[in-house]
Structure 1
């Protein structure tokens, strides 16, 4: 039943995608802002309390609803789980931006590609070259594929609807509180940043290993072992290094942003990033998804016989 819910959620999301500004996410962000207003006094321990409340409330609520529906009828609980998956995961939450950048690069329209990438990453892209746009798009695509597909899938399989809800809440808080306070030197969001690294530790490595299995295994493992630790985020460094090695592309490296140079370590091996390599990245993600679904199906069938 878990496998069927995953497949149907992915299909449903293709036809009725949940947009970035949807009611569920908007409501949760409002709840997170309320928690921060009441608990952010600038100290680390306040962030611990705020994060616990902001994650535990929706996760426990999801678990209670699922449990109550299961007592009424297992099918009702399954439908609820399907709805949770539809909200918490899906390609369409980032794929339209990725496709737009790829199409603009293929047509030679660098300005449009820059504009679409900037709206997607929410960073300055006005002075990026074509190669830099392609690199950043592949990097953001691999990270978003993990955050919106493989991360929620993993925690749903492990902990059910409550796990998927907790994971999505934790990623929102990491971006909303953790990344902000890491950049500005605040302390309230440090716990959100640190616990996100713990939550991502296992699923990010399983995803990176899957990239290696469905791509160039030798290069993916080499890049993972030799390059990943140089990235600022351990989990994302592993994902990007393994993904770059799996498709044979160079990622990372310096970026020309706002007429300055942003120095970043080199990841991957092989060719320079371009529009064709964006297609290779999409293929890697889809092969990995099919690989996961096949494994989950085999495990499910093995428990039935």
Structure 2
């Protein structure tokens, strides 16, 4: 059921890329904001209580609905999985955003590329050069392909029904929403997502290596990933950079100043051609996961 649910969700997304998912996510974020106003006293244990109140009821209701549908008819449970995956995954959104920036750079429209990068990924891009726009877009593409596609696929395959996919997405949303706070309220949300993402991040990095330059990806993962502040992001970016044969990280101009970041990857400097290569890597990785899940499905039937 896992393989066919994923295939169906991806086909539905290609056919109907509408804003349904955005409304659902905004509804959950509104609920999270209400919990924050009620629980936030700047104390970590209240952050734990708010995270629990945000995530656990949704998981309980989702699992209850799944098994209720399964008891009525397995086809209904499959349809429920497809709807959930359609609402929380975003492969088309990720690939389309990279294509837009790529087309703007190809046409020599740096201002449009900067605006798209700021609008789509929330990055301050007003001072970025062509190379920095390409580099940042590749980095965002690797991270977003993991968070919106591969991390969800991995968790969906590991836990029963839609439980894993929903847990991963909710944890990621709360980490982004509460993790930027300066007090201790959001500490648990960041740590919880880091723990949940530990295995998916490494499996995504390994799949990047298999779908790209295997030796360089493993070398960058082993030697460079630990230098990145976020260990899970560092592993994904280092492996992705090595798989693509491109240099990421390095200094970045933003808000009139220069920000120094660790160097990731080996090979050439980032440019517009590597944006297309990033989309190709994501497609190959998606096909790799679908083939693996199909083999597991066949093995399950044979068993």
TM category (shorter chain) comes to over 0.9
Q: Any conservation in 2 of the 1:18–1:86 contact (CA below 8 Å)?
A: no
After TM superposition, the score normalised by the length of structure 2 is: 0.97
1:251 has 2:252 as partner: no
Query: Which residue number corresponds to residue 281 of structure 2?
Result: 284
Query: Which residue number corresponds to residue 163 of structure 2?
Result: 162
Deviation at 1:176, TM superposition (A): 0.3
SS at match of 2:8: helix
Deviation at 1:214, TM superposition (A): 1.3
SS at match of 1:261: strand
1:191 has 2:192 as partner: no
Query: Which residue number corresponds to residue 239 of structure 1?
Result: 236
User: Which ranges in structure 2 are unaligned for 5 or more consecutive residues?
Assistant: none
Q: Any conservation in 2 of the 1:59–1:163 contact (CA below 8 Å)?
A: no
Deviation at 1:94, TM superposition (A): 2.8
1:38 has 2:35 as partner: no
SS at match of 2:184: coil
Indicate the RMSD between aligned Cα atoms, in angstroms: 1.2
User: Which ranges in structure 1 are unaligned for 5 or more consecutive residues?
Assistant: none
1:227 has 2:219 as partner: no
Whole-angstrom distance in 1 between the partners of 2:212 and 2:220? 13
1:211 has 2:198 as partner: no
Whole-angstrom distance in 1 between the partners of 2:224 and 2:298? 38
Deviation at 1:93, TM superposition (A): 3.0
SS at match of 2:102: helix
Whole-angstrom distance in 1 between the partners of 2:20 and 2:228? 27
> Can you list the C-alpha shifts for 1:5-43, whole angstroms capped at 9, x where unaligned?
101111111121254872211111111111111111110
Decide whether aligned partners of structure 1 residues 112 and 199 sit closer, same or farther in structure 2, where only a CA change above 3 A counts.
same
Whole-angstrom distance in 2 between the partners of 1:18 and 1:85? 14
Q: Which runs of 4+ in 1 moved over 3 A?
A: 18-21
Q: Any conservation in 1 of the 2:175–2:193 contact (CA below 8 Å)?
A: yes
After TM superposition, the score normalised by the length of structure 1 is: 0.96
Query: Which residue number corresponds to residue 152 of structure 1?
Result: 152
Deviation at 1:169, TM superposition (A): 0.7
